[in-house]
Amino acid sequence: MNTIDRLVKTAEENKTILCFGVDPDLIKVQPAMPSGSIVDKTIGPFFHNIIDKLLDENAISALKPNYAFFAQYGFDGLFVLEDLFQDYSKKIPIILDGKRGDIGKTSEAYAKEIYDFWGADATTISPYMGTDSVTPFLREGKLAYVLCKTSNESSNDFQKLKVGSGKNAKFVYELVAEKTLDWSNKNNGSVGLVVGATDDSIKRVMGITKGKLPMLIPGVGSQGGDLELVLQALKGPDFATHRINASSSIAYAYRKAGGNPAAAALKEAEKLNKEIRKYF
């Protein structure tokens, strides 16, 4: 089963397009774990407990581990990432958030790492270096999400620069959406877009793509994105192909709510699902 079909199947079975972003932060995990600062004895069990709870309750339909958050702890962190793939890759689609993108041969090496070594269903890539940097990730059966309009505050430094003049002027992120649609048409799918929830750009992008590209939407949780605006933009026959990501707002919900981290994470996820499930 290819990644798009798997995303649709999981979303329809669990009645949600919620994706859980796994961003380990030892400082935030330590208070909840008796093993202190030992990476594999701390972040591993912490996130496995949460993921198991979310899966048991059908609260998510994808996982998005962020490579950098594991790699910052060296091999100990990467071993935890390996365990995550071994334990969950058959249960739920995994999007390895790697944000790769380089000249052709280097991208080929990165694509082999992401898809062949880690076994990810999907990944995130930067389009800045052009077609030859993107093409190696457009592998049949997999899915590459192209960074389009991201949710960080300084994304406007480049993504909202206008190209052209007068009525023909377009934002850079709109050109990225157009080019990605072209890549999709030439590669039988296998490509989507990352579009943040922190402004109304999702509406512009959906106007360009007509819902034909699967979206990965960060920024709904701790970054304060507008969930209702996003859901309105995504609604349509391809709704189940998209994913709305929430990371720290779910993982570290216990820091505000207290109690068991897994229970607090489920409660936070279900707040989002209450709104998401209105669209199924």
Q: Give per-residue pLDDT as tens, 199-249.
A: 889 999 999 999 899 999 998 866 667 899 999 999 999 999 999 999 999
Range 3-279 classified under CATH 3.20.20.70: yes
- Domain residue ranges in the chain: 3-279
Task: Give pTM, 2 decimals.
Answer: 0.96
- Give the amino acid at 225: G
Q: How far apart are CA 196 and CA 244, in angstroms?
A: 9
Q: Mark out the alpha helices in the chain (DSSP H runs).
A: 3-14, 26-29, 39-56, 67-71, 74-88, 104-111, 131-134, 156-159, 172-186, 201-209, 227-234, 248-251, 254-257, 261-276
* Beta carbons of 157 and 128 less than 8 angstroms apart: no
Element housing 34 (H / E): none
* pLDDT for residue 102: 94
**Catalytic one of 9, 15, 28, 99:** 99
* pLDDT for residue 117: 98
* pLDDT for residue 243: 98
Q: How far apart are CA 194 and CA 66, in angstroms?
A: 14
274 is catalytic: no
pLDDT digits (tens, 9 = 90+) for 13-57: 999 999 999 999 999 998 888 866 778 889 999 999 999 999 999
Whether residue 80 is predicted with pLDDT greater than 90 in this model: the reply is: yes
